[in-house]
Structure 1
């Protein structure tokens, strides 16, 4: 592919674009810019974008059954209602026990049953502090104890089509691993952690991910200017080159769930780079699975 095959969805480049998400009900895309504390949306029918400003950094979002959002932010997990104007109504659902300077949530999404998952990280990656934890949140049980610990830069959360395999990556340069877990769909408990893929000797680090209907795992190769598809056996069978060096996360959507939105990072906004931080849509020849909604009655 070349840049002419990419659909640029906004002229506003992100600093750290993350958490692309397709709403089947609303037929629109959502994503976030973490440092700018911003939630974005894109309506492909009108080719229009809109943004909302949050009170603190929002790392990832998921859709709820109420037509609203659940979001992992700096101080905890919030219920987000998007207003008509540029602001949001945010109410705290669960405080982050380890909240403090330099710590925030990172990657997250719902499992196939609608449980919300998100992990934490220490933002100064040069410090290489493995204090990140992966949490599960439900309205009945609240925020879990750490389910996976000692993470440097948590990323890559995704589930197989049947929900029985959970994927998780650590994108820190000292790790660059993708793990698979057996996943108990009744209790929402991962076990049997094993290395699914080691990207140490590949171009790019494993960042955000998505799964298609064939059970293949698509992951952004941060610093590698590509998105890579792994088979369920952990073998690379496709690599799509991208015009930006640091793609961050990908997600399937569109009316037929055959589009892949890819967000990216602009590490130095003062350095001219036409593609850094841009949000793109490609059609990779695969079909995704609609995100499960988080059950929420309001």
Structure 2
């Protein structure tokens, strides 16, 4: 049985701020002490300086689903037609975009979804058919390395790829499929030298718990935090796959979480606004102190 944990959950955005349609991919950038995330249908990257509340937005030419940074502050973005290098202007709105790589999409209505860097700075992201009702398992997981090479599909047969994360030492990789027909989280042994995952096994089956396994974060103790979409919960699993903690958030569809703050002891949570029956909090970003700390988000090891 899991222990229900009731830390204070704070909404970061004021009452006048319009919610995101699909808030995703929170990234805490230590160099700026700022939180970034995306709004997929609005084609936006958003930055919030948490201490001052200053907010900046940039609009991209197409939907953007996941982001990572290189050491210079450039963005590696997983979008509809491929992976892009994005340079953000200081003032907001203006962006410079350059395509880096793209897989051969087997269907027209596809895009990248969840993505982040491994501990060595390789960028990983998966693709999905955007019409989730189609339940099309055409999604694939890719690796983009510091030399600018996009791998062949490393994992295939995914409906809605999500939940990427790595253990603190980088030797375990996590991946989920959040589609209602799947609701699975897998663990892999991960070769930190080659970037190859092996020995795929079920880490947690969310058919046995509440919600669908969306985006994730790994804390400094090696525990895996998953957003339980449709359940309004954050679930923490130990490295052995045991559910040991759950935290309620005021949005029914939490989408991804990331550690940040000055001491990396805050868990930032994005959310999705449902098409019907949305509350005032759905689509906003939240902060919770879960009683554990995270690790700095790895930067992309290459040059963008």
TM-score by length of 1: 0.96
Give the structure 2 partner of residue 54 of structure 1.
60
Which of 2, 5, 10 aligns to 1:6? It is 10
List per-residue Cα deviations over 1:17-48 (Å, max 9, x = no partner).
Answer: 00000001111000000011000000012111
List per-residue Cα deviations over 1:233-263 (Å, max 9, x = no partner).
Answer: 0000000011111000000001100001100
Q: Are the equivalent residues in 1 in contact too, given 2:220–2:295 (CA < 8 A)? A: yes
What's the secondary structure of 1:40's corresponding residue? strand
Give the structure 2 partner of residue 113 of structure 1.
120
CA distance in 2, matches of 1:198, 1:55: 37
Taking structure 1 as reference, are residues 288 and 71 closer, same or farther at Cα in structure 2, changes over 3 Å only? same
Give the structure 1 partner of residue 191 of structure 2.
184
Residues 234-245 of structure 1: matches in 2 within 5 Å?
234-245=241-252
CA RMSD of aligned residues (A): 1.5
Q: Are the equivalent residues in 1 in contact too, given 2:8–2:288 (CA < 8 A)? A: no
Q: Are the equivalent residues in 2 in contact too, given 1:210–1:250 (CA < 8 A)? A: yes
Give the structure 2 partner of residue 254 of structure 1.
261
Give the structure 1 partner of residue 29 of structure 2.
23
List per-residue Cα deviations over 1:218-242 (Å, max 9, x = no partner).
Answer: 0000001100000000000000011
What's the secondary structure of 1:45's corresponding residue? coil
Q: Are the equivalent residues in 2 in contact too, given 1:179–1:193 (CA < 8 A)? A: yes
Report the CA distance between 1:68 and its aligned residue: 1.2
Report the CA distance between 1:97 and its aligned residue: 1.7
Which of 32, 38, 45 aligns to 2:51? It is 45
Give the structure 1 partner of residue 74 of structure 2.
68
Report the CA distance between 1:186 and its aligned residue: 0.1
Report the CA distance between 1:6 and its aligned residue: 1.4
Taking structure 1 as reference, are residues 272 and 168 closer, same or farther at Cα in structure 2, changes over 3 Å only? closer
Structure 1, unaligned runs of 5 or more: none
Q: Are the equivalent residues in 1 in contact too, given 2:229–2:253 (CA < 8 A)? A: yes
CA distance in 2, matches of 1:101, 1:6: 39
Q: Are the equivalent residues in 2 in contact too, given 1:74–1:99 (CA < 8 A)? A: no
Taking structure 1 as reference, are residues 71 and 63 closer, same or farther at Cα in structure 2, changes over 3 Å only? same
Alignment of 1:80 with 2:86, yes or no, is yes
TM-score by length of 2: 0.94
Q: Are the equivalent residues in 2 in contact too, given 1:3–1:243 (CA < 8 A)? A: no
Report the CA distance between 1:8 and its aligned residue: 2.2
Report the CA distance between 1:297 and its aligned residue: 3.3
Q: Are the equivalent residues in 2 in contact too, given 1:208–1:250 (CA < 8 A)? A: yes
Give the structure 2 partner of residue 278 of structure 1.
284
What's the secondary structure of 1:14's corresponding residue? coil
CA distance in 2, matches of 1:238, 1:272: 26
Give the structure 2 partner of residue 227 of structure 1.
234
Structure 2, unaligned runs of 5 or more: none
Taking structure 1 as reference, are residues 89 and 141 closer, same or farther at Cα in structure 2, changes over 3 Å only? closer
What's the secondary structure of 1:113's corresponding residue? coil
* Runs of 4+ with deviation above 2 angstroms: 1-5, 7-12, 295-298
